[in-house]
Structure 1
Amino acid sequence: MKYTFDPVPFHHTNSLLEFPRVAADFGFEWIQMTPHPDFIPFFSHPRADDDLVRALGKACESAGVGISSILPVQRWSSPDDNLRQAAVRNWKRAIQIAVDLGVDQMNTEFSGRPEKPEESEASFYRSMEELVPIIEREGINIAIDPHPDDFVERGTDAWRIIRGVNSKNLSFVYVAAHSFHMQDPMDEILDLVQDRLRVVHVADTFDHRRSGGLRYITNPPETAARVHQHMKIGDGDVDWDNFYSELNRNGFLNRDDSVMVTSVFSEHENHEEVTRYQLKEMRSRAEAARR
């Protein structure tokens, strides 16, 4: 399993080409390239040209850090077909960047709209018709996260949609901070997904369903916003003993191709301390679960 650094908390203190060295300084051997203005921004065409891609590869090699995964987020399930087509074009360039960097794992979101679930699902499968042949030809695996405020949020439903593409090159992301939006117990989701669980994001969150739905208070009360948080391990309601036990039962902790990413975005003012804490906790809890 690849313990992986997510540089998002360091976007305000370091440049793109500094991220590999920062990861190595914290003791990580792997980094996940998440949306960044100089790389592959959210919902936009990649900004990295071939020279910058080569420079990033050299920076990783110099730091002794590998890229475990690349995370583009594009509107490939948008009910607006102009946006969907743009997302497909953006994905083609993102896939080429992954190939050029020697990266075979990408992960992403469905990026549709919950108020238009049928239209978003149809758009997703339409995009898959064009992209899956490229994904399979290049030997890329793409893992998808049912993100809060997407057209599919429930874990088992998300897996059924992924499975419906009928490609072994698509797999599942389990984000601990989305646990309570996925609704289904972790064991039920992983029993369905099995070894198609390829990426896990590690961050805590509160269970918004507790206290009669008042764990978070939003105004106006009837807002459709999906509230969740990405906090460090132990600060929320995720059952971490069960989380690591289920990952061990699934075999995720012992697979060479599995990616475990620290994913805390709520404490940028303490990002160095939190990053050290996260890596220590991920390693110790995984080892305890294996024992």
Structure 2
Amino acid sequence: MKTSFEREGIKLDIQAHPYDFCERNNESVDIIRGLDRDWINYLYAAPHTFFYDDGLGDIASMLRYIVNPPGVTATVHQHLDIGQGEVNREAFFSTLRDIKFDGIATVAVFAWEERADESSRFMLERVKSELLR
């Protein structure tokens, strides 16, 4: 795939993800650093903040639970609007600005289907106002 990605100019963003190949933030960053390709970057998913570091939620150090549905043995996920839940969004945004982060940072909301459009508009405007300064 390397040859095809480079030939076609395809960018690859890799994310640590609960219960996938690599679950923890630092280990995923180490993999990307080891690959040492300018077209491979890290995708930080804010809702997974507490999973990435075993419940600490220390966003600033990682950028170098409230339980899910019954029966799911998952650590905290907070797919909520910015300002709700325990994810420290101020630390999230200020750290991204400080390190001049130019990758992908997700803020996906899975709650409240009845207000999905309103939530999406709110989140887009908030992310733009925080990161496009």
TM range, normalised to the smaller chain? 0.7 to 0.9
TM-score by length of structure 1 reads: 0.40
Q: How far is the alpha carbon of 1:273 from its aligned partner? A: 1.4
1:242 pairs with 2:97: no
Work out the CA distance in 2 between the residues paired with 1:141 and 1:236.
Answer: 32
Is the CA contact 1:262–1:278 (under 8 Å) kept in the aligned structure 2?
A: yes
Match of 1:265 among 110, 125, 128: 110
Which residue pairs with 2:33 in the alignment? 163
Q: Tell me the CA shift for residue 267 of structure 1.
A: 2.1
Distance 1:276 1:218 in 2: 26
- Greater share of helix residues, 1 or 2? 1
Aligned to 1:216: 67
Shift of 1:227: 5.1
The answer on 1:190 being equivalent to 2:67 is no
Give 5+ residue unaligned stretches, structure 1: 1-130, 192-207, 209-214
Residue 139 and residue 182 in structure 1: after superposition, are their counterparts in 2 closer, same or farther (change >3 A)?
same
Deviation readout 1:120-153 (Å, 9 max, x if unpaired): xxxxxxxxxxx11211111111011101111321
2:79 pairs with 1:230? yes
CA displacement at 1:260 relative to structure 2:
5.3
Whichever structure has more strand as a proportion of its residues is 1
Q: 1:132–1:167: 8 Å Cα contact kept in structure 2?
A: no
Worse-superposed segment, 271-280 or 181-190: 181-190
CA deviation digits over 1:56-110, x for unaligned, max 9? xxxxxxxxxxxxxxxxxxxxxxxxxxxxxxxxxxxxxxxxxxxxxxxxxxxxxxx
- Paired-residue identity, %: 32
**Distance (whole Å) between structure 2 residues aligned to residue 239 and residue 227 of structure 1:** 14
| Matched letter for residue 99 of structure 2 | N
Aligned CA distance change for structure 1 residues 217 and 271 (closer, same or farther; 3 Å):
closer
The 2-side partners of 1:265 and 1:217 are apart by 11
TM-score, scaled relative to structure 2 = 0.80
